[in-house]
Amino acid sequence: MCQSEARRGPELRAAKWLYFPQLALRRRLGQLSCMSKPALKLRSWPLTVLYYLLPLGALRPLSRVGWRPVSRVALYKSVPTRLLSRAWGRLNQVELPHWLRRPVYSLYIWTFGVNMKEAAVEDLHHYRNLSEFFRRKLKPQARPVCGLHSVISPSDGKILNFGQVKNCEVEQVKGVTYSLESFLGPRIPAEDLPFPPATSCGSFRSQLVTREGNELYHCVIYLAPGDYHCFHSPTDWTVSHRRHFPGSLMSVNPGMARWIKELFCHNERVVLTGDWKHGFFSLTAVGATNVGSIRIYFDRDLHTNSPRYSKGSYNDFSFVTHMNKEGITMRKGEHLGEFNLGSTIVLIFEAPKDFNFKLKAGQKIRFGEALGSL
């Protein structure tokens, strides 16, 4: 045997030794490929978690035998956020001992920068549980409502995006869009239409824009955990219809909104639609992780974050009845609803072409301040 072959002997033996585990892994992966999708997800999920947690390259040998990790988005979507949110809701209802309230709420105030001087009740011992603290009311003079502008901010928060709706695509954050029709659902229930519902983008938009010369506008407001959690009517309008979309409860913070396309269409949401003096108007409350509870004060039939739901389904409810042919009349600044923690409000409305927003993307805004006017 020549010297070169002698030197290669240990390498060949090592290669043969490595071949058998790789062959076993290939066989194992072949078995996984024949499994059902739910079972396959269950089996590959722990490996995927390790892949993203361990140092770079630690599981690289698995890629040589055909294994690929689940994407971060798919991994995040597999987290049972609805179950976690219901558990969080139950925890929020637990009454805290009197001596524990101040340290718990003080920690929350310090973490999220809550201004308790604006609260109607500043005494922390007054709030029996976390839920009451999250839904605290403000002093009447804390949020003056702007009377000079036609549309005001319905809540405290951060402006993620605003502007005209173009091509039936709405930006949840800059550069990331979602479908207007997927978000709002059909304008009119199919069984009530005298003709088949239109499927093209332009025809769906024409169902929303009811007056010639008007445009469709949108505004997205993100409520952080430290913000005031109630929301109010942004203008004088009449609410005629409510549509509830059960769905996921993924985080809606700006970083996640950049990461997951059509995030707002995946999440549970309550769409209120109606009319104002310039035509169509809608306000959508979007749920998020630990925010399964969305409450509309005048809608006692609304129940969010139910244990079971059909993906892609929605429930309609009309406020127009034989006794009330107009719907629910809301005045600008009037109490409308509340979240259980923080989330997102999306306004989509019709207005004349000379409507102007008084905003900058990323700015902080408070309830009652001007969004825009003619």
- Which residues are the active-site residues? 156, 232, 343
CA triple 305-105-117, angle to 5 deg: 105
Helix H or strand E segment including 51: helix 37-53
Q: What is the DSSP string of 228-256?
A: --EEE-SSSEEEEEEEEE--B----SHHH
DSSP 137: P
Locate 148 and state its tokens: 């000079």
**Distance, CA of 276 to CA of 349 (rounded, Å):** 9
CB within 8 A of 73, min separation 6: which ones? 259, 260
Locate 85 and state its tokens: 């949110």
Helices 3-33 and 37-53 pack at an angle, to 10 degrees, of 130
Question: Taking phi first (over 0 means left), then psi (-120 to 50 degrees means alpha), and beta for anything else, what does residue 18 get?
Answer: alpha
3-state secondary structure of 309: coil
Cβ atoms of 152 and 368 within 8 Å: the answer is: yes
Tokens 């070169």 belong to 4
Task: From 243, 252, 245, select the one nearest 306 (Cα to Cα).
Answer: 245
CA triple 300-301-307, angle to 5 deg: 120
Cβ atoms of 158 and 363 within 8 Å: the answer is: yes
3-state secondary structure of 298: coil
Cβ atoms of 342 and 286 within 8 Å: the answer is: no
Q: Residues in the chain, how many?
A: 374
Q: Characterize 306-315 residue by residue with b for buried, 16 or more Cβ atoms within 10 angstroms of its Cβ, and e for exposed.
A: eeebeeeebe
Residues forming beta bridges with residue 272, ordered by sequence position: 242, 283
